[in-house]
């Protein structure tokens, strides 16, 4: 086992803290004012807040903690200290924002004190109890959804990158997966979509689940970008009669390794050799531009590689 340095641990917990703060910002300032529910326990917490004026932070942690206890009981001790830290920090930051900023939207097309003469407006409350004041705003659903998806994606991506999770509805998906063997990815999509549909049941506005699902899609793409980075790799299978020339070009000019293995053509049964090599986008362009000179009759199959691990690329994950 590779020993984790103190510096790496500090960076990991800093990422968890920053991700938790960004998640709270996205939820309180962008998601909640528009009554969206992009999956997770905080999606449900937003619905509960709109229906019964529950604090998002309180509703969120009241669902998160029992889910983690049940998940640990059924699935075993899968949730590390970083995940517990995230589960604590997210409602803490959310509570601070609820108490200071309130539930006012950041993105809108105008704020109003009264609703007379307005169509398509949404409302939010300033203060509580007898001092509560209702304000109104004209929403910009599309821009708000895009920005919220970006913030959510960066937030959860940072938490994932630190080796933690945000808990929540993913635990439900894990439990169902244990007993049904349905793909975890499919279950997460089903659970989050069901949570998003609660906005239609609660408020009768079909736009809300649609925009919530768009937000989930944007969020997932940004998570991949934050966790995996912007590097794009291609895997090439090259069948060539000039195996030595192509091999030398890959080794000496591109400074890349690869694997060479024999094969047999289906039509004529001739023995052929194939090179398997993974390249970044720049090296692939160089290979394609020089391959015609090396062997104009070469056959090349290029495959998109979503993730490459091992020597020369990303390190294999640690336990």
Confidence of residue 49 (pLDDT cuts 50, 70, 90): very high
Tell me the helix, strand and coil percentages in the chain, rounded to 5: 60, 15, 30
Residues 207-240: pLDDT tens digits? 999 999 999 999 988 888 887 776 678 899 999 8
Neighbours of 317 (CB within 10 A): 7
Top-confidence residue, 169 or 65: 65
At residue 119, does pLDDT exceed 90?
no
Bridge partners (DSSP) of residue 234 are 279, 304
Residues 245-298: pLDDT tens digits? 999 999 998 888 898 988 888 777 788 888 999 888 888 888 888 888 888 888
Top-confidence residue, 128 or 203: 203
Dig out the tokens for 282 from the structure.
Answer: 């720049």
The per-residue pLDDT for 32 is 95
Q: Kindly state the average pLDDT of the residues 67-91.
A: 86
At residue 94, does pLDDT exceed 90?
yes
The per-residue pLDDT for 62 is 94
Q: How far apart are CA 67 and CA 134, in angstroms?
A: 34
* Domains, the chain, ordered by start: 6-228 (no CATH), 233-305 (3.30.70.120)
The per-residue pLDDT for 115 is 65
Q: How far apart are CA 13 and CA 27, in angstroms?
A: 21
**50 closest CA partner among 206, 197, 203:** 203
Residues 146-160: pLDDT tens digits? 999 999 999 998 998
Neighbours of 161 (CB within 10 A): 18
Q: Kindly state the average pLDDT of the residues 55-76.
A: 90
Q: Kindly state the average pLDDT of the residues 102-122.
A: 84
The per-residue pLDDT for 1 is 44
The per-residue pLDDT for 33 is 95
Q: Kindly state the average pLDDT of the residues 87-115.
A: 92
Of 31-45, 158-172, 286-300, which gets the smallest average pLDDT? Answer: 158-172
Top-confidence residue, 261 or 19: 19
Residues 195-215: pLDDT tens digits? 999 999 999 999 999 999 999
Please provide the distance, in angstroms rounded to a whole number, between the alpha carbons at the two ends of the chain.
8
Q: Kindly state the average pLDDT of the residues 29-41.
A: 94
The per-residue pLDDT for 169 is 78
Of 173-177, 183-187, 205-209, 238-242, which gets the smallest average pLDDT? Answer: 183-187
The per-residue pLDDT for 8 is 85
């Amino acid at each position: 086992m590779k020993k984790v340095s103190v510096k790496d641990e500090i960076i990991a917990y800093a990422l968890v803290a920053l991700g938790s703060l960004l998640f709270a910002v996205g939820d309180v300032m962008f998601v909640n004012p528009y009554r969206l529910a992009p999956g997770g326990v905080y999606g449900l917490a937003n619905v509960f807040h709109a229906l019964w004026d529950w604090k998002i932070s309180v509703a969120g942690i009241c669902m998160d903690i029992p889910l983690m206890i049940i998940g640990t009981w059924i699935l075993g001790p899968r949730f590390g200290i970083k995940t517990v830290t995230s589960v604590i920090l997210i409602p803490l930051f959310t509570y601070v924002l609820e108490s200071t900023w309130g539930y006012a939207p950041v993105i809108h097309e105008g704020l109003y004190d009264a609703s007379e003469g307005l169509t398509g407006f949404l409302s939010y409350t300033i203060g509580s109890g007898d001092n509560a004041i209702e304000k109104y705003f004209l929403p910009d659903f599309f821009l708000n959804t895009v920005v919220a998806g970006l913030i959510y994606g960066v937030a959860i991506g940072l938490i994932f990158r630190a080796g933690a999770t945000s808990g929540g509805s993913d635990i439900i998906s894990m439990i169902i997966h244990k007993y049904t063997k349905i793909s975890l990815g499919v279950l997460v999509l089903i659970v989050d979509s069901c949570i998003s549909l609660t906005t239609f049941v609660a408020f009768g506005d079909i736009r809300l689940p649609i925009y919530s699902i768009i937000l989930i899609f944007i969020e997932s793409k940004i998570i991949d970008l934050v966790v995996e980075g912007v590097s794009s790799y291609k895997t090439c299978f090259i069948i060539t009669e000039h195996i030595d020339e192509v091999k030398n070009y890959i080794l000496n000019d591109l400074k890349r390794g690869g694997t060479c293995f024999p094969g047999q053509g289906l039509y004529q049964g001739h023995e052929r050799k194939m090179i398997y090599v993974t390249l970044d986008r720049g090296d692939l362009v160089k290979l394609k531009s020089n391959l015609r000179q090396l062997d104009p009759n070469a056959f090349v199959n290029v495959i998109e590689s979503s993730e490459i691990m091992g020597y020369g690329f990303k390190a294999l994950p640690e336990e």
